[in-house]
Structure 1
Amino acid sequence: MSQFTVRGRFRSRDGYRTFTKDIDAENENVAREYVLSRFGSEHGLKRVQVELDEVTAQ
């Protein structure tokens, strides 16, 4: 497993808020899916409300 840093922003009541998440995943696509699913389950956001700007391997 590799370490990935995912940066992006999500829509909230006050506008857009930025975030940075460090994820252990097999590849870049798995890291993207993990972040999208976590925002959906923890914050109740739809995938269209989350914008992923950058996924980088560390």
Structure 2
Amino acid sequence: MSEFTVRGRFKSRDGWQEFETEVDAENEDVARERTYANFGGRYSLKRTQIEVEEVEAR
């Protein structure tokens, strides 16, 4: 597994909040999916409320 840095933004009460998170995954697509799952579970967000702008291998 590789480590990826995922950057983007999500919709909150105050507007859009930017984020940067580290994810262990097999490839960029899996890293993106894990980010959607983590933010969806933690903040009860739908995929349409999360915008992933960049996935970068470390």
Is TM more than 0.5 here? yes
Equivalent residue number for residue 40 of structure 2? 40
Overall identity of the aligned pairs, in %: 57
SS at match of 1:45: coil
Measure how far apart 1:15 and its partner are: 0.5
AA paired with 1:38?
A: N
Name the counterpart of 1:11.
11
User: Which runs of no fewer than 5 residues in structure 1 stay unpaired?
Assistant: none
- Matches of 2:39 and 2:27 in 1, distance apart? 19
Give the C-alpha shift of residue 43 in structure 1. Answer: 0.4
What is the rounded CA distance, in whole Å, between the counterparts of 2:23 and 2:40 in structure 1?
Answer: 16
Q: Distance in 1 between matches of 2:41 and 2:54?
A: 21
TM-score using structure 2 length: 0.97
Aligned residues: 58
CA distance in 2, matches of 1:36, 1:53: 12
What SS does structure 1 have at the residue aligned with 2:35? helix
Question: For structure 2, which runs of at least 5 residues remain unmatched after alignment?
Answer: none
- When the two chains are superposed, the root-mean-square deviation of aligned CA atoms in Å is 0.4
Normalised by the length of structure 1, the TM-score is 0.97
